[in-house]
Chains A and B, each alone.
Chain A
Amino acid sequence: MNWLHTIFILALAYVAAFLEGRLDWFRDLLGAQITLLPALMVYTSLRAGIGAVALLAVCGGLWRDSLSADPLGVSILPLFFIGFIILRKRALLLREHQFAQVALGLAAGAAFPLGTLFLLLNLGRAPLTGWMTLWQWVVGTAAGGVLTPLLFRLFDRLRGALEYPALKQSSFREDREIKRGRQ
């Protein structure tokens, strides 16, 4: 399942990167485009290993940048650092709790555009920023918070459909016999 799991994550990143460029209705409605990649990175770093995190950061970042006027590779580092930090601390996180998933999704949704913007400014680019950027950042942050638990549910269902369900352990042990009555 490990490889299949990683392939599903990458396939979702591929479709998400395409839809981000293709779907206009959300941008027209709210004046901001949402991205699935930070939420997907939160899920990957909590449920998969460093290899999947690196693959998602590199492939997702490259796919996203290829449809954008961003310099190629600029989205990789912010994505990877989000995943890397969560991965390093995941033993301390209550990752199955919805509250933790929402909080991490919010943080990732907020950190991803800020990290990309920071890199762009350091590369000497002059992106279009203003008060509207603040609104777009808020929408992106909220989207991270909403999408992360949804991704957990989606992948849980997918796992449930593809894996054998775990055998429930009964309290009965065959090597133990309780004899009733007086001997």
Chain B
Amino acid sequence: MLKRSQYITLVLVVLLVVVLLCLPRRTADGLKLAISGLFLPLFGLAASTHEAVAKMGNGLTPRGELLRERDILRTNNQLLTIQLQAAANALRENDQFRQMLKIPPPKQGTLQFARVIARDPETWWRSVWIDLGSRTTPGMRTNLPVLTAEGLVGKVVAVGETRSQVLLLGDPGLLVAVLVGPGGLNGTLTAGSSWMRENNMLDIENLFGESADRTVHPGDEVVTWGEGGVFPGGIAVGKVVDVPGKEYGAATEARVRPSAHLDALQNVWVMILP
């Protein structure tokens, strides 16, 4: 009798797994968000603890240290204001040229601050959870770019009411169309081989240029292309570390070190696009 009940349970569990794995992607994602919603009390508790610790830390910071930091921030603020004025002038000129050449304006979005609240427990995927959701942030949806001040981090792949999942650069599920170097060769940023992942590097494949003399060199900047449909153009991605081989005199692959520190993310910015 005991054996029979064990085998019935085995069949039921296998059936449940088969049903779950055969669910349509959309339904499975919705179910996943609903189940992860069960962790809301723990997320809330963790956030409260974090705040309490931060408050305790604030009380312990010496006044001299705070004043010194305030002075540094004030200086930085003035510098950035001046740079912003110069950037605004350049943007105005750029808009005028665009109008003259009848080029459509680029996608522009607003940046929304987010905290990283959890990381993928599996080591073979690269994803994090952030504390922005459809209820807390208007305009939050999938496929929005996520970045830090250093550069691109990834894109939003699932949106819950109060939190969202972000796929990071280097995950096999995320391909990014990029431009490399001053020549503007285009290619596809992928997860790369295992050796590169272990050294926190990514791979650019299918590098293609109109003329063969345009090639890639170590130190070249890599930015988003803007033609992939997800990421606006010009977001910093990383720098070329080396070019492993050339075919027919032109490089087809390059190794890239991402600008953002993907293993130590605490805060990110989500670009809310219209």
Residue on B nearest A21 in the bound complex, by CB: B118
The docked-state distance in angstroms from the alpha carbon of A54 to that of B14 is 10
* A24–B9 CB distance below 8 A: no
Known A64-B121, A130-B197; contact A72-B20, beta-carbon cutoff 8 A: yes
Q: Is the contact region of chain A dominated by helix, strand, or loop, or is it mixed?
A: helix
Binds B, one of A76-84, A94-102, A103-111, A174-182: A76-84
Contacts of A73 in B (CB 8 A): 16-17, 20-21
B152 smallest CB distance to A (angstroms): 18
Give which listed residue, A54, A77, A128, contacts B197 with CB less than 8 A. Answer: A128
Centre residue among B31, B39, B197 by max chain A CB count within 10 A: B39
B255 smallest CB distance to A (angstroms): 15
Give which listed residue, A65, A71, A84, contacts B6 with CB less than 8 A. Answer: A84
The docked-state distance in angstroms from the alpha carbon of A95 to that of B136 is 50
Interface string of B185-207 (1 = CB under 8 A from A): 00000010111011000000000
Give which listed residue, B21, B119, B194, contacts A74 with CB less than 8 A. Answer: B21
Give which listed residue, B31, B42, B120, B264, contacts A18 with CB less than 8 A. Answer: B42
- Chain B contact patch, size range: 35 or more
* A27–B119 CB distance below 8 A: yes
* B119–A132 CB distance below 8 A: no
Cβ of B135 within 8 Å of any chain A Cβ, yes or no, is: no
* A123–B21 CB distance below 8 A: yes
* B23–A126 CB distance below 8 A: no
Chain B 26-41 interface residues, beta-carbon cutoff 8 Å to A: 28, 31-33, 35-36, 38-39
The docked-state distance in angstroms from the alpha carbon of A160 to that of B77 is 61
Known A128-B125, A128-B171; contact A76-B46, beta-carbon cutoff 8 A: no
Tally of A interface residues using CB under 8 Å? 52
* A22–B117 CB distance below 8 A: yes
* B118–A22 CB distance below 8 A: yes
Contacts of A27 in B (CB 8 A): 119, 123
Centre residue among A32, A131, A132 by max chain B CB count within 10 A: A132
Give which listed residue, B17, B36, B123, B193, contacts A66 with CB less than 8 A. Answer: B36
The docked-state distance in angstroms from the alpha carbon of A123 to that of B238 is 32
Centre residue among B5, B6, B165, B191 by max chain A CB count within 10 A: B6
Cβ of A136 within 8 Å of any chain B Cβ, yes or no, is: yes
Contacts of A21 in B (CB 8 A): 118-121, 129
Contacts of A117 in B (CB 8 A): 124
Binds B, one of A55-63, A147-155, A164-172: A55-63
The docked-state distance in angstroms from the alpha carbon of A96 to that of B215 is 66
* B198–A50 CB distance below 8 A: no
The docked-state distance in angstroms from the alpha carbon of A9 to that of B204 is 46
Q: 28 A-B residue contacts at CB 8 Å?
A: A22-B46, A22-B119, A27-B119, A28-B263, A35-B121, A50-B9, A54-B12, A63-B39, A64-B121, A65-B32, A66-B32, A67-B118, A68-B120, A69-B122, A69-B173, A71-B28, A72-B32, A73-B17, A73-B21, A74-B17, A76-B13, A88-B6, A117-B124, A120-B124, A128-B170, A132-B198, A133-B124, A133-B194
Task: Kindly list 9 other residue pairs between chains A and B, CB separation below 8 angstroms, not including A20-B121, A68-B125, A69-B122.
Answer: A21-B129, A22-B117, A28-B264, A50-B6, A51-B9, A67-B36, A69-B127, A128-B123, A133-B124
Task: List residues of chain B with CB under 8 Å of any chain A CB.
Answer: 2, 5-6, 9-10, 12-14, 16-17, 20-21, 23, 28, 31-33, 35-36, 38-39, 42-43, 46, 117-127, 129, 157, 165, 167, 170-173, 191, 193-195, 197-198, 263-264
Task: List residues of chain A with CB under 8 Å of any chain B CB.
Answer: 14-15, 17-18, 20-22, 24, 27-28, 32-33, 35, 50-51, 53-54, 57-58, 62-74, 76-77, 80, 84, 87-88, 116-117, 120, 123, 125-133, 136
